[in-house]
Amino acid sequence: MACVLLIEDDTDLRFSLAGILQHAGHQAFEASDGKRGLALVDEKHPDLVVSDIVMAEMEGISTILALREKHMQLPILAISGNPFYLNNAEQLGANASLLKPFSSETFLETVNCLLRNPVVSETA
């Protein structure tokens, strides 16, 4: 079982992704923006962070950059509805990215791949 932090401002999507992770045996913690997410990283020490890119309080690119400053080895999965943002996210430190909408199978497969081998970079 892995500990996964979900940083997503869409409550329904965040709840859905948490359910997918929990059903697969993982523990999920949730944050609605990057600022709250960064605080949870220091508190919960997740094995993986999943971060949306476009959020109000602290957007995903800033969150990824802040994570890379303190947690170089922490795998990060960027998610967004805009492929341009995902390309930037990977260039700035995300290990992988998924374009919304994605299936629960694709999400879980990418999460498990990153947990096994965080240096792998897959753009779906």
Domains of the chain (ranges, CATH numbers): 3-116 (3.40.50.2300)
pLDDT at 124 over 50: no
Task: Tell me the three-class secondary structure of 101-120, residue by residue.
Answer: CCCHHHHHHHHHHHHHCCCC
pLDDT tens, 62-120? 999 999 999 999 999 999 999 999 999 999 999 999 999 999 999 999 999 999 987 64
* Residue-wise pLDDT tens digits, 20-50: 999 999 999 999 999 999 999 999 999 999 9
In whole angstroms, how far apart are CA 87 and each of 28, 44, 71, 102? Answer: 25, 28, 21, 16
For residue 31, report the phi and psi dihedrals to the nearest 5 degrees.
-140, 145
Beta bridge partners of 123: 97
The reported pTM is 0.93
